[in-house]
Amino acid sequence: MDARSASRELDVIQSSFPGNNATELKGLFKIGDNGVDFSAINEKDFGHAIKGLSDDEQALAYGYYSLINSTTRNTVEVVTPTERYSRQAATTIFHIPNTWTRDILPTATGKDVDYVGGGGLNWSVFGQNHDLIGRFSIFVINSGQTTGDYQTSAIAGSALHLISSGGETSAHEVIGHGLGRLSSSPTWSHEDAIQLSNLYRRINVSVPSNIDWRNGTDHSSNIAIPYDKANGIPDYIRQGLFNFKLGQALLGN
């Protein structure tokens, strides 16, 4: 989107991989000379960098790798609750149906994203021919907005209301909804995004017994997703990563 968002998204992505063995991978995520676009990642370098990472880390890394190397146009804007968002985002946010009234007007700041999107939104970008050419994501860092479908045991019960971190929201919006939609995933609108939230949390919550997982009852269709499915990995990542690793093995890398 702009240099500020690029720098924040870079930090969000790199911070999503906390282990020491991810140093090489983090180094592959870079912003190009124009200060805005991420640089394409070399296949062989990526294949080398993910060796030794857990399955979950590899899956999340592959999601970002796929988007960065994609020919589609994916824009990410990152704001705080008090910062103004871009005019490009405003043209969508101001016009989201059934949202704004005389009493509740948009402020053109991150507060709107909290209000409309619970901290994050993602929509399609169409080209001149009306073909889908990319996705636009916006999310709030330091959001005060809670999400009310975090479960504390495998059998869903009374939910916790927690605030999603920037890393979790990025995984949810940019990969779950964004890459999911661009990959024509049949479950992009709900399941994939919830799976990406949970994938991020499995990597980043340090005490495994304290991992809370989202079951999707406070998202999209509000359909409850059972534990095993909510903690799965979308097909376009699982299958894509498998094909990638197979390809690398066949090349002798």
Partner 1 sequence: MLINKLLLAQAIESKVNFQIDKIVTTATASTEYVASFYSKDEIYIICRTKDSLYVTSYLPTAGDKVYDVNTVLIGKDTLFLNTIDSLYHNAKEAYEYRLYSKNAVTSRNFLLTFNKDNSIGVFYKDLATSKDLDKISRIINRLDLYMIRPLSGPSRGIKALKIENWDELLGYLMAFNYKRR
Among the listed residues 189, 201, 184, 200, the one whose alpha carbon sits nearest the alpha carbon of residue 236: 184
Residues in contact with partner 1, counted by CB under 8 A, come to a total of 47
Binding partner 1 (rule: CB under 8 A), the pick from 20, 33, 34, 97 is: 97
Residues 196-225 that bind partner 1 (CB under 8 A): 218-223
Structure tokens at 28: 């592959």
Q: How far is the CB of 221 from partner 1 (least distance, A)?
A: 3
Asked if 186 interacts with partner 1 (CB under 8 A), we say yes
* Residue 110 and residue 79 in contact, taking contact as beta carbons nearer than 8 Å: yes
**Rounded to an integer, what distance in angstroms lies between the CA atom of residue 6 and that of residue 250?**
35
**Rounded to an integer, what distance in angstroms lies between the CA atom of residue 74 and that of residue 173?**
11
**Rounded to an integer, what distance in angstroms lies between the CA atom of residue 193 and that of residue 169?**
9
Asked if 130 interacts with partner 1 (CB under 8 A), we say yes
Among the listed residues 227, 154, 228, 235, the one whose alpha carbon sits nearest the alpha carbon of residue 187: 235
- Cβ closest to partner 1, residue 26 vs residue 229: 229
Residues 144-173 that bind partner 1 (CB under 8 A): 145-149, 164, 169, 172-173
- Cβ closest to partner 1, residue 78 vs residue 121: 121
Footprint of partner 1 (CB under 8 A)? 92, 95-99, 116-124, 126, 129-132, 139, 145-149, 164, 169, 172-173, 177, 181-182, 184, 186-190, 193, 218-223, 243
